[in-house]
Structure 1
């Protein structure tokens, strides 16, 4: 695991860019083709895509972004919801001289990808939706609340923080990649305590918009090739899914050009926070088929 982490770090470049009056942080892996822009979940950060990006580079140039209010990006008091995040992504691409790109999103990041592809279809070549892109339901939001509450909490030490994370049902499939992701998600304060880098206010504002916004109106207008990847073990490693079987079939049918792949043995989180994310092969196949 240590050698794998070092290999990722050697190729990974981190930087910031100023767009729409705020500073956005991102990681970049150089590559010949693409580019591919990646967005994490509502409470996630750019480290979500470390292993995925490493597998795609150097064939593809990959950029993983911290959304406003998350990670190492600025955390303004205002400017949340899909329209603002889409505007940030497009301005980010403009700042880096990127005209069109492939878009990979996990969970909430996938929903931002759908919104962006709907309003700016000529700029998005393909989208990959990793267990996201849809409207949430109350059951899923309730299941996520224990994980989301950690965002506003301080823990006395890194060890106590990690121990608390291990008790959450989302993280029962513990692995070294997940642990490193969680370590990177917090700031260590002068007294040794740790607190998540995610703004709890930003999270609440985004979830308010997400819950009351009907994303399905955008599905038929997403004309680019689309891949939807769904975990076999659901949200928590049980039968709670972002989309159940019936909903998943209906979701895919909304899109003019969408295919679906199910990956067994992982949940909503470990499908990306994994030493060898099982989403990599279907993503590679899809990108190759679409000649990205």
Structure 2
């Protein structure tokens, strides 16, 4: 169904699946969220593929990459990213990370600074706050609860066998009775690639064990604002105005954005009015943020 991507395998003890879009010699390397896969970037591939080229990575435990029982962390994902770069003979790249992918992108820039030219943080990569529950403000408690609620919903589907792809759409779009043909091609392809056939129907490809091991790794090892001073490349920050759910507070608040602006060299910041954490990658919003980030490239301004 999807002709955007050319699929490849990156060899290693844990093999990784990647997709390459376009023929550009300097592709943007894209890293997805905690239970997603590279087709989340279909709209970006449609926009950027013809001019720059784009590489989408299925992080270990997701998509068509291998799924070991354990061994998940930001450090491991960062090393996997470098394996992808080595496989493609890319020395120095722009990394774009959505959600958890933003934290992976930051971890890569900190651990392998010579391999990262610039970062595009898409609703991910906010600074870790070192405080106990007793020390948290009411706003911080509210933000943490909203994050956990969104993650719980995303994780919940990983245990479900869906009767059909349309039943999977019912999970994401309840009471709308949608069929794949009702969606734009690139969006339908994302949901279809997200599923693998199993006995009795379809199940999301993402490993629950991977998600459950990565989640505390992000919350306990992602960089604080002070540690972000070790990132020496330019950054573009793109925020959705809503969180996981329509009408919810954004995952990156104005306060968190301000905290990032001190240590990071943020050259471009975009707030996508009306978008939530998921829809910001859909075509209507990608057409807003992609040209503002890449035309001309923000790191060259």
Q: Would you say the 8 A contact 1:135–1:210 is kept in 2?
A: no
Paired position in structure 2 for 1:3? none
Name the SS of the counterpart of 1:194 in structure 2: strand
Give me the whole-angstrom Cα distance separating, in 2, the residues matched to 1:286 and 1:152. Answer: 43
Across the aligned residues of Structure 1 and Structure 2, the Cα RMSD in angstroms comes to 2.2
Paired position in structure 1 for 2:214? 206
Q: 1:112 to 1:214 in 2, by over 3 A?
A: closer
User: Matches of residues 96-115 of structure 1 in structure 2 within 5 Å?
Assistant: 96-115=88-107
Alignment size in residue pairs: 277
Q: Would you say the 8 A contact 2:234–2:264 is kept in 1?
A: no
Give me the whole-angstrom Cα distance separating, in 2, the residues matched to 1:120 and 1:78. Answer: 23
Q: Would you say the 8 A contact 1:152–1:199 is kept in 2?
A: no
State the 4+ residue runs in structure 1 displaced beyond 4 angstroms.
none
Q: 1:47 to 1:39 in 2, by over 3 A?
A: same
Paired position in structure 1 for 2:137? none
Pairwise CA distance, 1:214: 4.3
Name the SS of the counterpart of 1:141 in structure 2: helix
User: Matches of residues 10-89 of structure 1 in structure 2 within 5 Å?
Assistant: 10-19=3-12, 21-89=13-81
Indicate yes or no: 2:270 matched with 1:264. Answer: no
Pairwise CA distance, 1:190: 4.7
Give me the whole-angstrom Cα distance separating, in 2, the residues matched to 1:102 and 1:178. Answer: 24
Give me the whole-angstrom Cα distance separating, in 1, the residues matched to 2:66 and 2:162. Answer: 22
Pairwise CA distance, 1:121: 1.2
Paired position in structure 2 for 1:118? 110
Give me the whole-angstrom Cα distance separating, in 1, the residues matched to 2:98 and 2:158. Answer: 18
Pairwise CA distance, 1:33: 4.3
Pairwise CA distance, 1:42: 0.7
The match for 1:221 among 230, 234, 246 is: 230
Pairwise CA distance, 1:241: 1.6
Pairwise CA distance, 1:286: 5.5
Name the SS of the counterpart of 2:245 in structure 1: coil
Q: 1:85 to 1:164 in 2, by over 3 A?
A: same
Give me the whole-angstrom Cα distance separating, in 2, the residues matched to 1:40 and 1:205. Answer: 16
Q: TM-score, length-normalised on structure 2?
A: 0.85
Pairwise CA distance, 1:165: 2.0
Paired position in structure 1 for 2:282? 273
Paired position in structure 2 for 1:285? 295
Pairwise CA distance, 1:14: 1.0
Could you report, residue by residue, the CA deviation over 1:137-186 in whole angstroms, capped at 9, with x for unpaired residues? 52212233112211122122222222122139xxxxx9534443222201
Q: 1:142 to 1:11 in 2, by over 3 A?
A: closer
